[in-house]
Amino acid sequence: MDESVQQAEITLTDALRIRYQYLIDPVGAFLNRLGIAPNTLTISGLVGNSIGAYFLARGSFLVGGLILLSMGAIDALDGTMARLRGEPSDFGAFVDSVTDRYSELVIYAGLLFYAMKELNLTLAMLVFAATAGSILVSYVRARAQSLGYEAKGGVLTRFERFVVLVPSLIFGYPWIGVALIGILANITALQRIISVRQQAHKG
């Protein structure tokens, strides 16, 4: 793969982690000194997101959104902690990735429960579209990597989905967030499919 393709595959999440490493590293080092394992922090993020989803299911979007916002900080730390320990592992990355998917799914489940409770078919379908797009974005990347290709780019990766959804919850307009994700996440999946096709033709 040529250098231009590699540069194109750098996501906003990657760029932010590099840009703010000087802030994240000291926090990660402090948590390591406390004896907290990176995988423990990863699982605690899933638990926190599940609590946030519970409030979303009840229609408490402000509380749920603020909880999800606080969980975003945890998501940035587990990988940093493993790196600072000198023990980043494939299994740790696997646990982190799977937990991220569960976190997204439980959040959408909370929103779907709320939509069904309120008999809001439009919101329910938007949540379905957002869920499908989010899962497809991850699946396309994983499937591409299993075949030796790279598919990290696109207009709406996981961090961008977080940035879109959380403010819409905090300000009480969840349908805006899930509508944007439903459209843009599916576009992202298509972008990754096209990228893999281009790589396959070059190969």
Q: Are 153 and 191 contacting, i.e. CB atoms less than 8 angstroms apart?
A: yes
Name all contacts of 144-150 with Cβ < 8 Å and 24+ positions apart. 144/192, 144/196, 147/196, 149/195, 149/196, 149/199, 149/200, 150/1, 150/5, 150/6, 150/9, 150/195, 150/199
Residue 116, Cβ neighbours under 10 Å: how many? 14
d(CA 131, CA 105): 7
Q: How many helices (H) and strands (E) does the chain have?
A: 10, 0
CA-based nearest residue to 177, from 65, 72, 67: 65
User: What is the amino acid identity at position 199?
Assistant: Q
Six-digit token string for 51: 């609590």
Q: Which of 75, 78, 96, 100 is catalytic?
A: 100
75 is catalytic: no
CB 147 within 8 A of CB 49: no
Q: Catalytic residue positions?
A: 100
